[in-house]
Structure 1
Amino acid sequence: MTQDCKKKNLFSILMNIQGYVSAFLMILLPCMVFFQVLLRYVFKAPLMGIEELMLFPTIWLYMLGGANASYEREHISCGILTLYIKKEKSMQIFNIAKALISILVSLWLTYWSYWYFAYSLKMWKYSDLVGVPMFFGESALLVGLVLMTLFTVLELRDYINIFRNGNKNKEEAKEC
């Protein structure tokens, strides 16, 4: 097994974990809403703070969704320039430039999220009603941005390999 195949398997495992966590959170959130509606309108006994608790899985789901979009290369983009680029090599150069800019922005955001993570760890703030440590929600920013940066670096690597070798790498990647 080649080194690239081993890396691909590692990312496959990482994406499976991320998928399971996301699926759990997607099930948890509607259950929490249903529970709150049931308590409030059927039993006339609202549970204070459930909206605050829903904030944590929402933040994690949002950041893991962004990381998943980076992995699948399904980002929201405005591809107006791609309509005007006709040559294959020009499109490859454009993709490399786009990935480089994305990495720079992602590294900058990851740096700030690390600073915020360290601040959150040091301060150990608590939520207002329920008293859950805010660290659990705020740490999602760092995890999500690290994953997005990692997947963007892999995207740049793939664009560079395609630029160098043409479409040979696409066929080799399928062999793993």
Structure 2
Amino acid sequence: MQINSNMKKTWTTVNKFQEIATSFLMILLPCMVFYQVLLRYVFKAPLMGIEEIMIFPTIWLYMLGGANASMERNHITCGILTLYIKGDRAIQIFNIVKGILALGVSCWLTYWSYWYFSYSLSVWKFTDLVGLPLFFGECAILVGLVLMTIYTAVEMGDYMIRFVKHDKEKEEEAA
């Protein structure tokens, strides 16, 4: 039971950190835009390089937002096939196949993001105007995709558990 308790604490902590970081970034970006507009058009003193600085919170917000959508299972889906699938069991099988495919694609993208992360770490590029290391923005890709892969694996596991539970319920009803 200790393992489940520790996993639950870790899961909650990661989700809370993700929520706080996303909220902070959603406040920071409009403030930076407002500051830039105020300086440029009101005070006629543009702040050079703020666009470069805004790249970092934008990338982090985008990747954490994708991870958050994965966590909440609010993916953008077409859902046309589910209109034609009538049986409960067929929908469960469809969800499992969908989960396996999503996990495969997510693992593949995470692998490539790790490769890009390693490359970025070894090259250590800088922005043109301000001179900030691009690594801090590029590592967001790996962090976001790792989180998305974890959430996708959990979702697929839930689909499989529901499928097995459904089979057990059918067996109990038959007995």
Q: TM-score, normalised by structure 2?
A: 0.92
3-state DSSP class of the match of 2:128? coil
Deviation of the 1:32 alpha carbon: 0.4
- Corresponding residue for residue 32 of structure 1: 32
Identity percentage of aligned residues:
64
Q: Residue in 2 aligned with 1:94? A: 94
* Whole-Å separation in 1 of the counterparts to 2:59 and 2:166: 39
Distance (whole Å) between structure 2 residues aligned to residue 8 and residue 86 of structure 1 = 35
Using the TM superposition, give the Cα deviation of residue 13 of structure 1 relative to its aligned residue in structure 2, in angstroms: 1.4
Kindly provide the CA deviation profile for residues 94-117 of structure 1, in whole angstroms up to 9, marking residues without a partner as x. Answer: 000000000110011001100000
Deviations 1:26-71 (A, max 9, x none): 1110110011011101110000110111111000000000000110
**Residue type of the alignment partner of 1:57:** P
Provide the alpha-carbon RMSD of the alignment: 1.6
Task: Mark the CA change 1:3 to 1:82 in structure 2 (over 3 Å): closer, same or farther.
Answer: farther
Matches within 5 A, 1:50-65: 50-65=50-65
Q: Which residue of 1 aligns with 2:137?
A: 137
SS at match of 1:166: helix
Partner SS state of residue 46, structure 1 = coil
User: How far 1:2 sits from its partner (Å)?
Assistant: 6.8
Structure 2: gaps spanning 5 or more residues = 169-175
For the pair shown, the structure with the greater C-alpha radius of gyration is 2
1:151 has 2:151 as partner: yes
- Separation in 2, partners of 1:143, 1:60: 9
AA at the equivalent of 2:73 = R
Equivalenced residue count is 168
Partner of 2:49: 49
Q: Does 1:77 align with 2:77?
A: yes
